[in-house]
Amino acid sequence: MPKKYILLLFLSLCITISASSQERKKIRLVQANEAVYDRTLGENIQRILGNAVFEHEGAFLYCDSAHLNNANNSVKAYSNVHINSADTLHLYGDSIYYNGETKVAEVFDNVKFIDNQTVLITNKLTFDRVSGIAYYLNDGHIVNADNTLDSKRGYYHTNTKDFFFRMDVVLINPDYKMNCDTLEYNTQTKISKFRGPTTIVGEGTDIYAENGWYNTDTDISEFNENARVRNGDQVLTGDSLYYERTNGYGQAFKNIQVIDTVQNMIVYGQYAEYDKSIGYTLITDMPEAHMIDDNDTLFIHSDTMKVTFDSTQTTKEIYAYYKMKFFRNDMQGMADSLIYSFSDSTMRLHRHPVLWADGNQLTADSIYVLTGEETIKKMFLYSSAFMVSKDTTGYNQIKGRDMEGYFTDNELVFIKVLGNSETLYWVREEDGTLTGVNKSFSSNMNIRIRDRKIRDLTYLAKPNATLHPEGELTPQELLLDDFEWLDHLRPVDRYDIFRWQ
């Protein structure tokens, strides 16, 4: 066969295929009560009246009346308009313009878009059947199971079931309300992803973040960028937060702050774990607590901290354990662990505690400090109590089974020594001249302190006391048993609490 005939045959076949393809793309009128050409509407335009049904590539369009343009393969449908596509997808409105070439439908007024369990209501919607994307640009309302969502703009991908919302986004769930600027929501996974300033407000819990995701089905979420969770009087912040709303469990990572607005307390760290059901927040990785009052601030550091609270989210105690150290202008201390109880304003130091108050060093098996009204009131030293202060020549020392210390204006002024009292102090005249070294033994005694110096000792039982002249006692005899001078461990400022040795 000559080549020109082969070419003509090929061109003819292409034209046939093209014509067939065009034929398949045509909008087809399935039924109507009346169908007439109306030249007043334009060339090739049919007026369709009554119970009209159109079909186009598997989608059906229902309406009361329509204008069908065969030339450009489009239809304008009016009144009780309904498009059904892929069985589960339904689109309703007062009027629709559908282009058969682009397969794009524009729906106007009282628009309702239904895809399985998702219902979208707006006043104008554009739906692209090719991409499967429906969008609105001026207010939309979505209902999906227990969730409702409103926004200025929205895009819905029918293939992936993803919604993208912009501007004034409000998601309402029976348990909370979310406000944000940008939100992505999948109707199948029930996971919402948000960007920009976002708040989630529920009963007893408020959340703020600027990036993250939230599973509305499981109530599990992750928040990033300026993340904050408020439970009652406590606020937990961090670079990122993981939170399970159902059981009240959360984790925070990097630059952590636990803030109690009632107790005026802030705890810092690099990792935190929160458990509402048990009632605690655990902070590790360089934790530091600031207990603030009008006169002074108590700074505490330890290896691990735990803040406990009751069912009303009221803070009960703060635990600081393993290598605890604290600094306050009028008192410093260290111990293996510290417990501060807000109910009785008592600070308890356990295992090798050391307390420095003014020029005095105090040690015991455990030490309790009672505070109140932003002042130190009393101090209790239990078992192996030992108090040391430095004299210009040596060390003034007081030992006993237990001790009680009393404060005025945060200054130690009076001490009771209870049981097995021992003292060694350097006796001086008013001008500072050394008289001798007094060593005494008694069951109980009272000690008065003024200007940070021992001014008076009162023995409550017959003492065994001896005043030794200077030089009579050996260096070993000038130190009571179990003497330790730990001034090198005393924190000199708030930053020195991170130094253990």
Q: What is the pLDDT of residues 108-127, one digit of tens each?
A: 999 999 988 789 999 999 99
pLDDT grade for 200, boundaries at 50, 70 and 90: confident
Domain residue ranges in the chain: 26-121, 356-402+414-486
Q: Tens digit of pLDDT for each residue in 9-19?
A: 343 433 333 44
Q: Tens digit of pLDDT for each residue in 156-188?
A: 998 888 989 999 999 888 888 889 999 998 888
pLDDT grade for 268, boundaries at 50, 70 and 90: very high
d(CA 388, CA 313): 42
Q: Percent of the chain at pLDDT above 70?
A: 95
Predicted pLDDT at 280: 87
Predicted pLDDT at 120: 92
Q: Which has more confidence, 413 or 78?
A: 78
Q: Evaluate if residue 49 carries a pLDDT over 90.
A: yes
pLDDT grade for 136, boundaries at 50, 70 and 90: very high
d(CA 252, CA 229): 10
CA distances from 124 to 85, 112, 257, 473 (A): 19, 9, 46, 101
Q: Tens digit of pLDDT for each residue in 288-333?
A: 999 887 778 899 999 999 998 887 778 889 999 999 999 998 889 9
**Closest by alpha carbon to 45, among 57, 31, 29?**
29
Predicted pLDDT at 6: 37
**Closest by alpha carbon to 319, among 355, 283, 285, 344?**
283
Whether this prediction's pTM lies above 0.95 is answered by no
Q: Evaluate if residue 257 carries a pLDDT over 50.
A: yes
Phi, psi of 491 (to 5 degrees): -70, 135
Q: Evaluate if residue 199 carries a pLDDT over 80.
A: yes
Predicted pLDDT at 460: 80
Average of per-residue pLDDT across 263-285: 90
Assigned superfamily of 26-121: Lipopolysaccharide (LPS) transport protein A like domain (2.60.450.10)
Predicted pLDDT at 173: 84
Average of per-residue pLDDT across 466-481: 91
SS3 470: coil
**Which stretch of DSSP H or E encloses residue 253?**
strand 249-260
Q: Which residues contact 57 (CB under 8 A, 6 or more apart)?
A: 24, 25, 103, 129
Q: Evaluate if residue 388 carries a pLDDT over 60.
A: yes
Query: Residue holding tokens 């087809």?
Result: 28
d(CA 264, CA 261): 5
SS3 103: coil
pLDDT grade for 387, boundaries at 50, 70 and 90: very high
Predicted pLDDT at 22: 43
Average of per-residue pLDDT across 393-399: 91
Q: Over the chain, what is the mean pLDDT?
A: 87
Predicted pLDDT at 125: 95
**Which tokens go with 424?**
């060694």
The DSSP code sequence of 149-202 is: EEESEEEEETTTTEEEEEEEEEEEETTEEEEEEEEEEETTT-EEEEEEEEEEEE
Q: Which residues contact 21 (CB under 8 A, 6 or more apart)?
A: none
Q: Evaluate if residue 351 carries a pLDDT over 90.
A: yes
pLDDT grade for 4, boundaries at 50, 70 and 90: very low
**Which tokens go with 267?**
């705890």
Q: Evaluate if residue 354 carries a pLDDT over 90.
A: yes
Maximal CA-CA distance, the chain: 140
What are the strands, taking DSSP E only, across 40-139?
45-56, 59-69, 74-85, 89-99, 104-115, 118-128, 133-136
478: which strand partners? none
d(CA 351, CA 366): 6
User: Using alpha carbons only, how large is the chain's radius of gyration in Å?
Assistant: 41
